[in-house]
Chain A
Amino acid sequence: MAGIWIYAEEQSLAKQLLTAGKELAQKINEPVVAIAIQSDMASALAGAGADKVFHLQAKTDWVENYEKPIAALLQKEEPSVVLIGGSLRGKALAAALAADMQTGLVNSALTLSYSDGAIETSRIMYGGLAVCTEVLSQGCVVTIESHVFEEAQTGQAPGEIAAMEVSLESKVELIRVDPIVHQGEDLQAASTVICVGRGLNGQEDMKLAESLAQKTHGVVGCTRSIAEDYHWLPTEAYIGLSGQKVKPDLYISMGVSGQVQHVAGIRDAKIIVAIDTNENAPIFSAADYGIVGDLHEVVPALIASIVK
């Protein structure tokens, strides 16, 4: 039946994929078919513009086990393209799916387009230095991360829901799961982000960042080394290509050099401000405004001049 197929293990991301799928559907004139694994997700997607929803019904404690029945369904249906929610679990599932279907996989696509009879994607490469446009053969798998597309709106003429009972097998024994307390979500939703880097003299400088965040109603994030080498903030607070990708109205960095991997995580910020002593730091070429100076002087002066 061809079509654009979408699947995400979580409802919000599935609705974002639906938006991406529907935009593409207008260009290639094919239906958008969703795969859901909960009944509320199935009805939400059917009401948000999916032409058809397959509701896979099974019990499992490990959501990645849905890979095999999804692969079986897709192999039968021969989709034009498969969009998968690009969470880390989603990427693991997508890779296994692509291997089982003997097809291509593009992870973390930023755009989907249609040109000369083929679907094309764009994504970041070389740690944020470059954008790669790829031409996909028929039936490829594409993952799209959260917050790249808006959620599809509900209240549309509901599509058909087909329930399917499936059996899941697992080679993986789940021992325990501990949720991570979510600083990352705050960062992704924040309208102002204050980011600290290795230019800080010590952990006591975190107070400066917190004061600035308080004044600007912002959230504090950091570079990878602050989280992973210094542990001043949790891992999920680091911003960059392999960490959080933020899109605030205002991003202010303190002592961040601006390696390409970090800059890739802030490319969608509306305004980027950099404060650093090294005027040759790459962050300044990625910034709208910069102040070359000691953050211990600049940040208190900035806090004092913001009237809020």
Chain B
Amino acid sequence: MNIIACYKWVLDEQDIKITTGSLALDTSRAKGKISEYDKNAIEEAVLQAAKSGAEVSTLTFGTGKAKASLKDALSRGPEKAYWVNDEKASTADGYVTANVLAAAIRKIGSADLLLFGEGSSDVYGQQVGPRVAALLEVPAITFVSKFEIQGDKVVATRTLGDSIEQVAVKLPAVLTLLPEINKPRIPSLKQVIGAAKKPMQEFKVADLDLPAAAVEPKTKVKSLLGFVMKRKNQIYKLDTVEASVQALVAGLAKDGVL
């Protein structure tokens, strides 16, 4: 059995600053990382493989910058890393990304189980996993908080807004995972060193036999601006707690919310 965990190499949002005035995003100090929920996907692939004896590989679609992700991904336990390295990733929307990943999976050959995070920690588009399933014509189970491989089936628990449901599908299948499914490991030094010896394979979009229209985004970013809330920012740090509380209560009463 083969499991492929897909991930996105993203900018760490904690390092992004909003430029005062223009509200433009300053990403000059932001480092790359594997998107948080995708770390859960890689971890889960490795945990499941330990039980079922499956082989785990990873797949990402990114620009040249995503090269740094390959060793990180492999240090988390998978045996092989695939990378579609193309500048088109910088403007890709969910439509393009899913087309590219699905084509790459066909190129790689067989995958019995494909795991995705429920959304990326940068744009949080929440669509690539179920799109890939539809393109490959395999079932998708989204928002999975727990699952088990039982022979040629996977039985999964979905945590949805109003209910928890248990469903089963025949493999091959796509699962998108909620972060509560596991705690991703912090790779040990030995795992990091070991990762360098594992195989990596690079593709270009041109290798994937996709029509030109399949890599032309359907949604285009017009502007991306820092979100600033206009708030009163009245912070009390008076001599006594009572004085601060009284000032607060007076303010709330004036605003008509008490």
Contact = CB atoms under 8 A, between A and B. Distances in A.
Interface of A: 62, 87-89, 91-92, 94-96, 98-100, 102-108, 120, 124-137, 140, 171-180, 182, 184, 192, 216, 228, 235-236, 241-242, 249-250, 260, 263-264, 267, 270-273, 279, 284-294, 297-298, 301-302, 305-306, 308
Interface stretch (B38-46, B78-86, B156-164): B156-164
A287 B127 contact: no
Contacts of A171: 138-139, 169-170
Interface of B: 13, 16, 18, 25, 93-95, 98, 119, 121-135, 138-143, 155, 159-170, 179-180, 214, 217-227, 229, 231-237, 241-242, 244-246, 248-249, 251-252, 255, 257-258
Contacts of B25: 126, 129-130
Contacts of A241: 124
Contact of B235 (A106, A192, A292): A292
Given A98-B127, A235-B180, A135 B235 contact: no
A129 B236 contact: no
A76 B222 CA distance: 30
Contact of A128 (B227, B234, B258): B227
Given A98-B94, A178-B165, A290-B236, A272 B220 contact: no
Contact of B123 (A132, A137, A273): A132
Contact of A129 (B16, B231, B248): B16
A96 B248 contact: no
Contacts of A107: 119, 124-127
Interface of A (DSSP majority class): mixed
B241 A279 contact: no
15 contacts: A88-B142, A95-B126, A98-B95, A125-B122, A130-B25, A132-B223, A171-B169, A171-B170, A175-B165, A228-B180, A250-B257, A264-B227, A273-B252, A291-B237, A306-B249
Contacts of B218: 103-104, 136-137, 140
Nearest to B246: A305
Given A105-B94, A129-B227, A301-B242, A91 B167 contact: no
Contacts of B249: 302, 305-306
A95 B130 contact: yes
A293 B247 CA distance: 14
Contacts of A62: 167
Max chain A C-beta neighbours (<10 A), residue from B16, B229, B255: B229
A92 B222 contact: no
Most buried by A among B130, B133, B135, B143: B130
Contacts of A242: 119, 124
A250 B257 CA distance: 6
B60 to A, nearest CB: 19
Contacts of A94: 127
